[in-house]
Chain A
Amino acid sequence: MPLRFHWSMSSAGEELKGAKARAAVSGIPNLDAHVRFCKVAEECGIESLLTAFGFHRADPIVLAAALGMLTTRIKFMVAVRSGVCSPTLFVQQVNSVAALTGGRICLNVVAGHTPEEQKYYGDFLAHDERYERTDEFLTVCNAFWKGSGEVNFAGKYYTIEKGKLNTPFVAPDRSAPEIFLGGNSPPGEKLAVKHADCMWRLPEPAAKMRDRVRPLVESGIEVGILVSLIVRETHDEAIAATEQLIARFDGAPRRTHEEFAKKSDSVAFTSTYKLANADDWPAPYLWTGAVPYMGAPSVAIVGSPTEVADALFEYRDAGVTQFLFMGWPDLEEMERLSRLVVPLVREREEAETRNAEVAAS
């Protein structure tokens, strides 16, 4: 199966958004910049764009609906937090966006980052209970998408009786949205296996990930990584780019992310902060130097086109088949991925397929 590439749209229109304190970011989406971002992504063959969720951002599903109306091919990976709306209403919203955009919506489920932000939304549940509720939420959602007939569910957090909706999920190739789920903790893994199509992890060196990825893949889901990308024509240029990036920060943004890390009860996020403090290069292709400034998702795959392609195949050999990238700036990095790396990847995949056919005959 070919590797699949997605991109985060979190910084559309604002290159170093990750380096700002979250409360200082404007929540007014720059629609023109977002549409440009989408069109470049379409040209680069990116499959879907992540629209993230947070108090400091525009609402991701409304934004995705609007962008879907103004584009033709790109899909939107809409971040969703359970606990902020009824699962029935959520399914109705998702199905409505599908109806408007030809099914160009998939979901990225997050159980919530910081208890502080959850309280803005009236959510006072603790970490483990949030997972329990997300489990119920997705059970109800999937009953609408995959079940036949009325939905009945009696749980601790939701009770639905004879639930039905008249707007189905319609896409050329699916009758339910593809579900991605982020997390590194054991309850997150359980949830992903039960409800999701693919689990997002933050990257560690590929060899280290293998043991935890394999059981997930064997349970029938895919595993992907949320990772930044710095690819340049040569190895030295790529290394120079990491240095230039660091040179652009002064001391302030480092504190921003130290504060966030302290507040976060997400296992995925806190473990990456530990990784970042240990060593800037946990693998020859994996750089954590930007984490203190730009947060956990800025762990980056760095290198020349061949080095990056090799790294992607190392991850694939460890069971990782999807990639959700970020870059600085996004569009230039996306363009380099498409022009320099993807052809190498596809060539190698085709060669493998040919070899497999030869071996089989």
Chain B
Amino acid sequence: MNELKFHWRLTQGGERPGASRGHQASLGETGLADLPQRIRFCKRAEELGIDSLLTDFGWSKPDPMFLACAIGLQTETIKFIVAYRSGLICPTSFVQQLNTLSTLIDGRFSINVIAGDTPEEQHYYGDWLPHDERYARTEEFLAVCRALWRREGPVNFEGKYYKVEGGKINTPFTAPDRDFPELFIAGNSKQAHDLAISQGTIWMQIPDTPAKMQERGADVLAAGKELGVRCSIIGGRTRGEALETAYALVSEKRDGFDDGAKEREFMRKSDSVNVRSTYAMAGESEWLTPWLWTGAVRTHGAPCIAIVGSPRDIADGIEEYVDAGVTQFILAGWPKLESMEFFGEEVLPLIRQPKAIAAAL
């Protein structure tokens, strides 16, 4: 079985603890490098046994590839999950940039390929394809990337969106254990599922119940790919304490910013199946399982579906996904640093504990 890996979301520039996605993006500080703060966060993540930090892509943030480069040069072991949108750069240049990055930081990154959240933001970048075609293009994009990573001679490709003739680059992907980066394909849609099987190494989803995820992911595992979950953690010493924290999160209005309205606006604009289905699910039921809470989704966004409870509850919740075949988790919490420390110190040891010892206790 693949090794279990736990990732966290990297802090934003001028991170505001508890700020929703819409609120954070509206702040000028989000666009700044804010390196000292982020490097401190990364060093703490290294100490806590976190594998990688997700560096988001979006108009409101610095380019994640360059953040990974800058932070990677000043840290030792932490890796990055660099989110990038296909369709904004030609695959040959993309691979050349990533391979160059790999030579500089020992290949300490994987790639989260996203097809784009909202048509509005895609238009900022000059991308006018509708949702389904963006997936078809991503399929071609990654096919060219993977052909370049195989290094089996000049790459010739003739598709609907890309045509490459004699393609080659001299800089190889350089890492101790891989010759191309792990490729996270995120999304709950059929297209994302198919893309993960054809070009990815792992299918990332916003979680549904473990049973449903197991059912949907069976053919992904059969194809030799991994399953991953992206969600939030809301913990406390006891379940009661965790619930209080959870409810406080959605009842507060910060600086007069209406998170619910901002998130509703985002939903109107989004054409992501992933985001829409989670938003819809959150309307149907607040608790999908005894520990999986959708209460923050309608104010804080789809990835804020949360596993809530005591360290034991959270460890159990994660174990259920592991039993369903999930091997990688991209997690976050509020505030990011404290929740990561809680997870690393209180929850992770329970998960890493061999089952036999856990049973004996």
Contacts and interface: CB of A to CB of B under 8 A. Distances in A.
Interface of A: 23, 25-29, 31, 55-59, 61-63, 65-66, 69-70, 83-89, 92-93, 95-97, 99-100, 116, 119-124, 140, 151, 158-168
A121 B93 contact: yes
Contact of A120 (B63, B69, B125, B165): B165
Given A120-B169, A121-B167, A158-B126, A29 B32 contact: no
Interface string B163-183: 111111111101000000000
17 contacts: A29-B104, A31-B104, A62-B104, A86-B125, A95-B62, A96-B33, A96-B67, A99-B31, A119-B166, A119-B167, A159-B123, A159-B126, A159-B128, A161-B124, A163-B123, A165-B59, A166-B25
B270 interface: no
B126 A160 contact: yes
A259 to B, nearest CB: 15
A119 B33 contact: no
Interface in B312-328: none
Contacts of B91: 122
Given A59-B93, A93-B63, A165-B31, 8 more contacts: A27-B100, A29-B100, A65-B66, A85-B93, A100-B70, A124-B165, A160-B125, A160-B126
B93 A27 contact: no
A350 B164 CA distance: 54
Closest 5 CB pairs of A and B: A27-B170, A27-B171, A166-B31, A167-B31, A119-B165
Contacts of B28: 166
Contacts of B60: 165-166
Given A25-B170, A62-B101, A166-B28, A86 B126 contact: yes
Contacts of B170: 23, 25-27, 55-57
B105 to A, nearest CB: 8
B191 interface: no
A62 B65 contact: yes
Interface in B1-55: 25, 28, 30-33, 35
B97 interface: yes
A99 B164 contact: no
B209 interface: no
Given A122-B164, A162-B123, A89 B169 contact: no
Contacts of A58: 96, 99-100, 103, 171
B113 to A, nearest CB: 14
A40 B260 CA distance: 55
B90 A162 contact: no
A162 B124 contact: yes
A124 B158 CA distance: 12
A83 to B, nearest CB: 8
Contact of A96 (B62, B128, B169, B171): B62
